Amino acid sequence: MVNKSTIFEERRVRLKQSSQVDISGINKYLSLIREELKPEIEVNNGKIICVLQGIVGSPSNEFVQINRFPDLYTYQQMQNILNNKGASLLQSKETRLFKSITSRPKDPLPIEDHRPIYSDRRFFLRNYDVEKCADLSENLIWPLYEAWGVRVLGLFTTLLTNDIQEVIMFAGYNSIAQWEETRNIGFAARPKKISQMIWNEGKKAVIKRAELTLRSTVSLMKAIYLTKN
């Protein structure tokens, strides 16, 4: 279970790029994360949960990094360090603070949960439906998708509460083809590896969550693993 004081930071950046085939800035940015940002975050009791690079719906020079901090004070103490590193590589940067609304992310994330492709999905709900969305997702929908081989990283919402609340989910897939297959659950035949009960309950919950959702967006991103463990 995630501690209630835990803060998650989303850092979404676009790198300067002279052309679509220019990857020098990408290589420099990833080296910066591995060699400077990751050690600084970890020495201050934080952790990088994931680094994702845009492939579908986001350009390849866009990166999303999710950081975990034990509390708001630690996050605030880290900002001068994080904001001053690599600024010359960036075309734009946006940071937002999230809280987890389920027991995920796992800590540590097991290697068997690593996936090469992640969906970055944004749901927009009435704020009084957020808890119901979290319950449907964690207890009925995720068991279905994880029996299918998907691995859900986590479900988050913004710290600020609004009438229309944004809920953010990151889920890992073995391939873009697997993501496409699981998107058509209403028309898909049940895979043999998924029990009839999990299939039926999960499908009903997917429909219920869709009824709560005012709108949603999704993009696909490539996972960048900073270490082998």
pLDDT tens for the chain, 229 residues long, are 688 899 999 999 999 987 666 788 899 999 999 999 999 999 999 999 999 999 999 999 999 999 999 999 999 999 888 888 888 999 999 999 999 999 999 999 999 999 999 999 999 999 999 999 999 999 999 999 999 999 999 999 999 999 999 999 999 999 999 999 998 887 788 999 999 999 999 999 999 999 999 999 999 999 999 975 4
Residue 228 lies in a domain: no
DSSP character at residue 101: S
Q: CA 215 to CA 4: how far, in whole Å?
A: 28
Instruction: Give DSSP secondary structure letters for 142-210.
Output: HHHHHHTT-EEEEEEEESS--SEEEEEEEEEES-HHHHHHHHTTTTPPPPTTS-HHHHHHHHHHHHHHH
Q: Does the residue 23 lie in any domain?
A: yes
Does any domain span residue 121? yes
User: Where is the domain boundary, 75, 99, 123?
Assistant: 99
Overall number of domains in the chain: 2
Judgement on whether residues 60 and 120 belong to the same structural domain of the protein = no
User: At which of 55, 71, 99 does a domain end?
Assistant: 99
Q: Is residue 45 part of a domain?
A: yes
- Provide the domain limits for residue 161: 111-223
- Supply the CATH number for residue 173's domain: 3.30.70.100
Q: 92 has which bridge partners?
A: 14
Q: Are residues 64 and 142 in the same domain?
A: no
pTM of the model: 0.94
In angstroms, how far apart are the furthest CA atoms of the chain? 54
